[in-house]
Structure 1
């Protein structure tokens, strides 16, 4: 069995970075509420520049009318003001301006004294959460656990145990704890070669080819999408992934660990065990599992990425069958 890499890699992959978020589960709620329009206007703060503009004009009017205060000016023009207020009943901003300009401007307050005690430094976990800009549909570590509470544990083994316990009752989930150095090695290759082909043995049916793509939707996450090559050829940009695997990076720097979580859509023809085989293959080719064949596997990634005619699916299958 042989498949030209040029024929595969030359096709533009429709599952781009933005599509990764679109393919993840979404839940959007829309709600409507009745708003009192007049209340909304009355609660609107009058712009300071508007107040200043009318205050200056009124002070000029005071001088021309020969009165010494705004209250005296209002008394002179009380009939005119009443008429304006009557006509502007449906525009409460006029009333707000009148009230604002009639109130003396507050005296400038003294500069606040600086506290002698510096504020506490934010935790690395909170800083990482603020740094992440999460598109709609993309789940963060906080979607599954409390990152602050999890960060109390310094032992990676304890963190992994807690992480696995979170998904123990979900039969379609994938989860793992990945050492920081391993993840960094994999992500370096992933950014150079975001797409690749993986063979999946099918008992009595030979081998089925699956297409994967790495995406990096936020600074704190990296997601791998798996779909069958046959489905991609048939549906193109409408091909649906059967498995997604997201690496959450909030603890990467502070605890030297990435927490991986994935989901298998069973009705799309792939079991959890088969998805696990694909994840193991992913680790093999992207440096998550180091071994004597690593250089050869890296070369396959490069051949596929550039559409090299030397790329061989037969060699890929043979490499997949090796234990390391």
Structure 2
């Protein structure tokens, strides 16, 4: 799957393959009945417990299930908060000052010295709760002495040991285009192909054919941008009175199954979280992105990478904005709640063109 822009090509390493998803592509293109699989499961759960909830409401003197839910609202909120878990992040690299040819980390030298981690007794803090600053992964003063190519290599090596980690280096101008679109359209949905079993029609059923058949459906994922205060101050003093730092914020994008978001709202557990660090933006013109795919959430690392690449294609409209086209219009329709104009079938077709 070719990308016009090289901005997030570092997302996929040289040995990464997404061929299991590609085999769905042509078959998926023929699907016209787009299914919100998780949403159907949600409806089944509600119906399954409707009678028990009604009985519980009568026993406690409530007129309806809604009244029962309102009475237990505080307890529901406390249970949800207790169930929330912090997304794991890779631990900082240990300090290394000796050259080791057998170690995949760069050898110690004046241009490729290994960044030192902070002491465990005083871990770096981010101004946004739950978000690790860039200094938790790299020694920023040392990194700033390196050329861009070595920074990109170090960043990939920093996350290579974690099988659930994703990372990329993004040119500042590309990131600024993404953010410009994201501030106007902070929420969107993206599809992933899923093979599901569906009942066979009467004409397809026979002694030789099974009662079900395989088909490809679109599993929908909800994404949301977040903007937080920067985790560090500018890395060098202003060189002129007109100096304006680019390190004005830290941004995150969370990906959640749409069905889970519809069921739990803000308490839905995301399956992938990515963070953009702007600490090097002023001096190196680079934004470092890293993220974690939460295990056992129904999304593989390759599928998460696919969602992130599609995110870039929908939010980066090119230098002059001419590449927005249908993608840009779909983002705007979704943001303004245009139910009549926004069609999931059109979204699937647009994704297939990428």
**TM class by smaller structure:** 0.5 to 0.7
Higher helix share: 1
Counting only pairs closer than 5 Å after superposition, residues 159-170 of structure 1 correspond to structure 2 as: 159-170=151-162
The Cα of 1:295 is off from its aligned counterpart by 2.0
The Cα of 1:266 is off from its aligned counterpart by 1.9
Select the residue among 146, 149, 159 that pairs with 1:157: 149
> How far does the alpha carbon of each residue in 1:15-38 deviate from its partner, in whole angstroms, 9 at most, with x for none?
xxxx9xx875489xxxxxxxxxxx
CA contact (8 A) 1:242 1:268 kept: yes
The Cα of 1:135 is off from its aligned counterpart by 2.7
The answer for the alignment partner of 1:319 in structure 2 is 350
> How far does the alpha carbon of each residue in 1:122-161 deviate from its partner, in whole angstroms, 9 at most, with x for none?
xxxxxxxxxx96133211100111111111113x222111
CA contact (8 A) 2:88 2:292 kept: no
The answer for the alignment partner of 1:171 in structure 2 is 163
**Structure 1 CA distance for aligned equivalents of residues 352 and 323 of structure 2:** 12
The Cα of 1:179 is off from its aligned counterpart by 0.5
The alignment of Structure 1 onto Structure 2 pairs a total of residues equal to 202
TM-score (norm 2): 0.53
> How far does the alpha carbon of each residue in 1:41-85 deviate from its partner, in whole angstroms, 9 at most, with x for none?
xxxxxxxxxxxxxxxxxxxxxxxxxxxxxxxxxxxxxxxxxxxxx
Select the residue among 284, 300, 305 that pairs with 2:330: 300
Runs of at least 5 residues in structure 1 that lack an aligned partner in the other structure? 5-18, 28-131
The answer for the alignment partner of 1:210 in structure 2 is 221
Q: Does structure 1 residue 248 correspond to structure 2 residue 277?
A: yes
The answer for the alignment partner of 2:5 in structure 1 is none
* Counterpart secondary structure, 1:250: coil
* Counterpart secondary structure, 1:269: coil
Select the residue among 247, 257, 263 that pairs with 1:234: 263
**CA 26–169 in structure 1, closer or farther in 2 if over 3 Å, else same:** closer
RMSD: 2.6
User: Radius of gyration: which is bigger?
Assistant: 1
Counting only pairs closer than 5 Å after superposition, residues 83-232 of structure 1 correspond to structure 2 as: 134-154=127-147, 156-204=148-196, 205-219=216-230, 220-232=249-261
The Cα of 1:292 is off from its aligned counterpart by 7.1
**CA 297–202 in structure 1, closer or farther in 2 if over 3 Å, else same:** same
The 4+ residue runs of structure 1 with deviation greater than 6 A are 288-292
Runs of at least 5 residues in structure 2 that lack an aligned partner in the other structure? 1-32, 37-80, 90-124, 197-215, 231-248
Bigger mean CA offset, 182-191 vs 218-227: 218-227
The Cα of 1:289 is off from its aligned counterpart by 7.3
TM-score (norm 1): 0.58
* Counterpart secondary structure, 1:297: helix
**Structure 1 CA distance for aligned equivalents of residues 225 and 85 of structure 2:** 13
CA contact (8 A) 1:138 1:217 kept: no
